[in-house]
């Protein structure tokens, strides 16, 4: 059984041990799993390459550890509990035994269509059990899954499929999301028209009664493919460092990059962190509200909980459907013990009023988690008082797609929790703050850039197809360190508070977006000459998107133009990237070398234009006044 820290003393000594002797610490954690062959080396690393190898030479299959390993001890325990979008529809559940059978059937189906070890498969599906089954089916046969959040547009989907050179897309016919029905297969058809030349098969899971267009050459119904297969499928033998999945995420430049995670280290760390971060105990019902399209869903809906033999809940719907009590009603209905959500959801529900949580019995809750963006003090206290009744520890967990698992968090009931502080590093995580020159800030009570100076098992290994980009983005800013892109402060006792990104990445409702990516989309509009996008503080979303655009003015109505810009962003990326505010400007503040002064634009967007600093050296200082006067 994976080690579970049980007291403050235990945390301190475990942390110390993990830092003083990381190899023996992680080898000890890895011993708890089923390996087909034991590793030769625990760790070999070089941040300069970067080259990171954990448990090299070790052979395993992660699904044997998620499923087969539990059959004797908990085969009839519920592994996945599924709550549908429409509350009157039937709840579905899969025991570990049933889940293993379904995963094997799906895996055999993929094999019958020619999918082999190393092939990439893109999953574009709603939050239904079949998504988790497809993820695990890929892992069963050594295919590399790349889940694309089903809110992304056809263009964004095609970009990811093309980058990954995926052989197959698995999707649903339509998705139910709140009162909306989304024609997902149609989006895939559109993506296939734009690109996706590497795709031979599209497997369609029938999720609704909705109609779809069909092409016999490529399309294949899930039920026709999967239902006839054997429920036994031998697990492919994988090296610890073989690729497990690619997950695309936004950076400060260019198009999204494919973060690569590998089998062995990811398995060890997601299980260890799940057990410890949530203090999961036998029989608990655990619910993470994230979508499997994001890393949170990979690590803490699918892999971490199943590796730990937990009961993990999946929810198809949205927090406010049919009303703002839905989350709390589900907590009561399923007697949820650990609840994990994002600050944006907490703020949105807080705005709906205290009467919603008051209606339900939330007394089974033992841990309340937060993830994805900084949680503000007001939301923290509301979560604490109205959901936890002042009685349930809150864990503000900081991590990233690239880190694979939680890096900073209080441990519930073990370490203290200070509002808005992600607080303490997990065992094995050598976090540090540095100044802009890369000098480590060793004293408490300071502010700096957040780095990690030693490898941990679930860290990214590369960015797919472009190792240089991985090196440049994460390992070149400061020598010998992984740079997170976040700024942070340390309080007088050494607790860490993550303030937010210091690069051109914005965090909108917990969704990570590159400003360059949004600008590229806006620039596709025929009447746009140039644009600049920045984030600004937004009450519910955390950050909103503020776009400044220069146009050729060759349009009839400003209203239509603004709508047109939003439409083009929805088309290029997805509705989540639509600007909240669009200001038409005659120019953008630029340095003499032509660089856009985002600092100024950010200040104006945040309504704080009183002190813009020295603007006299700008190429076009006059434009600043105009922008300021017309700010939205
Ligand atoms: C960025 C990573 C980790 C899964 C979801 C997001 C921000 C994340 C926190 C937190 C302050 C946070 C950071 C980070 N972030 N959690 N608890 N407090 N900021 O994963 O999409 O890769 O985004 O989200 O800025 O760098 P992601």
Residue 612 has pLDDT above 90, yes or no: no
| Per-residue pLDDT reduced to its tens digit, 287-328 | 999 999 999 999 999 999 999 999 999 999 999 999 999 999
d(CA 622, CA 615): 9
Distance from Cα 103 to the centre of ligand 1, integer Å: 30
Q: Which tokens is 310 given?
A: 């937990």
Dist. CA 408 → ligand 1 center (Å):
11
- Separation in Å, CA 339 to CA 37, 158, 288, 299, 625: 36, 34, 6, 15, 48
DSSP annotation of 577: G
CA 497 to centroid of ligand 1, rounded, Å: 12
Query: Which atom, in ligand 1's list, is nearest to the CA of 295?
Result: 4
Between CA 249 and CA 579, with CA 544 as vertex, the angle to 5 degrees is 80
The residue whose CA has the least distance to atom 6 of ligand 1 is 372
Residue 94 · residue 129 · CB < 8 Å: yes
Q: Which residue has the tokens 């004293």?
A: 443
**Residue whose C-alpha is closest to residue 373's, from 565, 543, 197:** 543
The residues near 460 (Cβ < 8 Å, ≥ 6 apart) are: 259, 260, 261, 401, 402, 403, 404, 470, 474
Residue 122 has pLDDT above 90, yes or no: yes
CA of 348 to the centre of ligand 1 (A): 18
Half-sphere exposure of 523 (CA within 13 A, CB side): 11
Determine the straight-line distance between the first and last CA of the chain, rounded to whole angstroms. 56
Instruction: Please tell me the residue having the least CA distance from ligand 1 atom 21.
Output: 512
CA of 546 to the centre of ligand 1 (A): 20
pLDDT digits (tens, 9 = 90+) for 376-410: 999 999 999 999 999 999 999 999 999 999 999 99
Query: Ligand 1 pocket, 422 CB below 6 A?
Result: yes
- 13-46 pLDDT, tens digit each: 999 999 999 999 999 999 999 999 999 999 999 9
Say if ligand 1 is within 6 A of residue 401 CB: yes
Nearest CA to ligand 1 atom 18: 374
Average pLDDT, the chain: 96
Does residue 505 have its Cβ closer than 6 Å to ligand 1? Answer: no
Of 149, 400, 451, the one to substitute when testing ligand 1's pocket (max ligand atoms within 8 A of C-beta) is 400
Give the nearest ligand 1 atom to 422 CA: 17
Cα(296) to ligand 1 centroid in Å equals 10
- For ligand 1, atom 12, the nearest C-alpha belongs to 373
Q: Is the CB of 507 under 6 A from ligand 1?
A: yes
600 φ/ψ angles, rounded to the nearest 5 degrees: -70, -45
pTM, 2 dp: 0.96
Q: State if residue 397 touches ligand 1 by the CB under 6 angstroms criterion.
A: yes
Which residue's CA is the closest to the ligand 1 atom numbered 7? 373
CB atoms within 10 A of CB 359: 12
Radius of gyration of the chain (CA): 24
pLDDT at 255: 86
The string of pLDDT tens digits covering residues 214-243 is: 999 999 999 999 999 999 999 999 999 999
pLDDT tens by residue, 152-186: 999 999 999 999 999 999 999 999 999 999 999 99
**Sorting pLDDT into bands at 50, 70 and 90, what band is 254?**
confident
Tell me, using a 6 A CB cutoff, whether residue 325 lines ligand 1: no
Q: Which ligand 1 atom is nearest residue 408's CA?
A: 17
**Residue 480 DSSP code:** T
Nearest atom of ligand 1 to the alpha carbon of 250: 21
Q: Is the CB of 371 under 6 A from ligand 1?
A: yes
pLDDT of residue 32: 96
C-alpha of residue 300 to centroid of ligand 1, in Å: 14
Give the span between the Cα atoms of 453 and 434, in whole angstroms: 11
CA distance 503 to 500: 9
Helix ranges (DSSP H) in 254-372? 263-277, 295-297, 304-307, 326-334, 343-351, 355-358
User: Which of 136, 196, 123 is closest to 165 using CA atoms?
Assistant: 196
For 123-155, write each residue's pLDDT tens digit: 999 999 999 999 999 999 999 999 999 999 999
CA distances from 26 to 33, 34, 42, 241, 432 (A): 12, 15, 8, 15, 20
83 beta partners: 315
**Which residue from 370, 398, 459, 541 has its CB within 8 A of the most atoms of ligand 1, so it is best to mutate?**
398
**Beta strands 311-315 and 285-288, pairing class:** parallel
* Residue 551 near residue 129 (C-beta atoms within 8 A): no
275-286 confidence digits (pLDDT tens): 999 999 999 999
Strands (E), 113-223: 120-124, 144-147, 168-172, 175-177, 180-182, 201-205, 219-221
Which ligand 1 atom is nearest residue 290's CA? 5
3 state SS of 499: strand
Q: Which atom of ligand 1 is nearest to the CA of 397?
A: 17
For residue 247 and ligand 1, the question of a CB distance below 6 A is answered with no
CB of 26 within 6 A of ligand 1: the answer is no
Compute the distance from residue 49 Cα to the ligand 1 centre, in Å.
25
Pocket test for ligand 1, best of 260, 399, 410 (most atoms within 8 A of CB): 399
CB 249 near ligand 1, within 6 Å: yes
* Ligand 1 centroid from CA 400, angstroms: 5
Residue 311, SS3 per DSSP: strand
pLDDT above 90: residue 253: no
Question: How close is the Cα of 267 to the center of ligand 1, in Å?
Answer: 21
Contact 481, 433 (CB under 8 A): no
Residue 337 DSSP one-character state: S
Task: List the beta bridge partners of residue 497.
Answer: 489
Specify the pLDDT at position 347: 96
All residues at 6 or more sequence positions from 620 whose CB lies less than 8 Å from its CB, including other chains: 587, 589, 590
Nearest to 549 by CA among 557, 536, 558: 558
Is 231 within 8 Å of 101 (Cβ atoms)? yes
- pLDDT-derived band at 257, boundaries 50, 70, 90: very high
For atom 11 of ligand 1, the residue with the nearest CA is 374
Residue 361's pLDDT is 98
Q: What is the pLDDT of residues 409-452, one digit of tens each?
A: 999 999 999 999 999 999 999 999 999 999 999 999 999 999 99
What percentage of the chain reaches a pLDDT higher than 90? 95
Atom of ligand 1 nearest to the CA of 500: 25
Question: Burial code of 39-61, b = ≥16 C-beta within 10 A, e = fewer?
Answer: beebbeeebeebebbbbbebbbb
Kindly give the number of the ligand 1 atom that is closest to the alpha carbon of 375: 18
Cis, bond preceding 322 (omega within 30 deg of 0): yes
Which atom of ligand 1 has the smallest separation from the CA of 398?
17
pLDDT tens digits for range 515-574: 999 999 999 999 999 999 999 999 999 999 999 999 999 999 999 999 999 999 999 999
CA of 293 to the centre of ligand 1 (A): 15
What number of residues does the chain have?
A: 632
Does the Cβ of 296 fall within 6 Å of ligand 1? yes
Q: How confident is the model at residue 194 (pLDDT cuts 50, 70, 90)?
A: very high
Preceding amide of 396 cis, omega within 30:
no
The best mutation among 372, 500, 501, 503 to test binding of ligand 1, ranked by most ligand atoms within 8 Å of the C-beta, falls on 372
Per-residue pLDDT, 594: 85
What is the rounded distance in angstroms from the CA atom of residue 569 to the CA atom of residue 74? Answer: 47
pLDDT value for 267:
98
């Amino acid at each position: 059984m994976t080690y579970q820290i049980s007291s403050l003393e235990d945390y301190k000594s475990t942390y110390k041990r993990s830092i003083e002797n990381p190899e023996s610490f992680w080898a000890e954690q890895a011993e708890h799993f089923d390996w087909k062959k034991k590793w030769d080396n625990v760790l070999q690393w070089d941040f300069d390459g970067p080259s990171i190898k954990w448990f090299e030479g070790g052979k395993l299959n992660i699904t044997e550890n998620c499923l087969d390993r539990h059959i004797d001890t908990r085969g009839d325990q519920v592994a996945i509990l599924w709550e549908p979008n429409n509350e009157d529809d039937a709840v579905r559940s899969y025991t570990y035994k049933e889940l293993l059978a379904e995963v094997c059937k799906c895996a055999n189906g993929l094999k019958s269509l020619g999918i082999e070890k190393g092939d990439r498969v893109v999953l574009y599906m709603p939050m239904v059990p079949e998504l988790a089954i497809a993820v695990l089916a890929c892992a069963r046969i050594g295919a590399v899954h790349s889940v694309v959040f089903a809110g992304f547009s056809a263009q964004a989907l095609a970009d990811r499929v093309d980058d990954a050179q995926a052989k197959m897309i698995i999707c649903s016919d339509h998705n139910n999301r709140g009162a909306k029905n989304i024609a997902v297969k149609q989006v895939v058809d559109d993506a296939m028209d734009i690109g996706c030349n590497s795709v031979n098969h599209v497997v369609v899971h029938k999720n609704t009664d909705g109609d779809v267009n069909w092409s016999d050459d490529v399309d294949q119904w899930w039920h026709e493919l999967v239902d006839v297969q054997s429920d036994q499928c031998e697990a492919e033998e994988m090296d610890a460092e073989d690729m497990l999945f690619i997950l695309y995420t936004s950076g400060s430049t260019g198009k999204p990059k494919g973060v690569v995670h590998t089998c062995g280290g990811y398995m060890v760390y997601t299980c260890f962190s799940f057990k410890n971060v949530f203090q999961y105990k036998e029989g608990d019902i655990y619910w993470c509200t994230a979508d499997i399209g994001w890393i949170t869903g990979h690590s803490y809906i699918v892999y971490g909980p199943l590796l730990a033999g937990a009961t993990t809940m999946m929810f198809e719907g949205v927090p406010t459907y049919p009303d703002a009590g839905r989350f709390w009603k589900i907590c009561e209905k399923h007697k949820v013990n650990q609840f994990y959500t994002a600050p944006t959801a907490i703020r949105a529900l807080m705005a709906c009023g205290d009467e919603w949580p008051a209606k339900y019995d939330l007394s089974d809750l033992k841990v309340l988690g937060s993830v994805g963006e900084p949680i503000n003090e007001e939301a923290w206290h509301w979560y604490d008082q109205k959901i936890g009744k002042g009685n349930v520890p809150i864990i503000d967990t900081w991590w990233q797609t690239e880190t694979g698992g939680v890096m900073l968090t209080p441990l519930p009931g073990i370490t203290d929790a200070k509002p808005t502080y992600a607080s303490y590093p997990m065992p094995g995580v050598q976090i540090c703050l540095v100044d802009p020159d890369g000098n480590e800030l060793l004293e408490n009570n300071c502010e700096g850039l957040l780095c990690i100076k030693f490898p941990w098992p679930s860290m990214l290994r590369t960015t797919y197809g472009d190792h240089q980009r991985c090196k440049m983005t994460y390992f070149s800013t400061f020598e010998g360190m992984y740079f997170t892109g976040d700024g942070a402060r340390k309080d007088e006792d050494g607790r860490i508070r993550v303030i937010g990104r210091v690069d051109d990445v914005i965090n909108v409702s917990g969704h990570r977006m590159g400003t360059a990516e949004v600008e590229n989309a806006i620039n596709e509009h025929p009447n746009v000459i140039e644009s600049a996008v920045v984030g600004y503080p937004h009450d519910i979303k955390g950050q909103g998107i503020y776009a400044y655009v220069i146009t050729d003015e060759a349009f009839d109505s400003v209203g239509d133009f603004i709508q047109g810009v939003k439409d083009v962003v929805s088309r290029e990326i997805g509705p989540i990237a639509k600007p909240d505010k669009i200001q038409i400007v005659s120019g953008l503040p630029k340095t003499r070398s032509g660089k856009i002064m985002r600092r100024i634009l950010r200040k104006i967007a945040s309504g704080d234009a009183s002190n813009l600093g020295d603007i006299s050296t700008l190429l076009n200082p006059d434009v600043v006044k105009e922008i300021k006067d017309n700010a939205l």
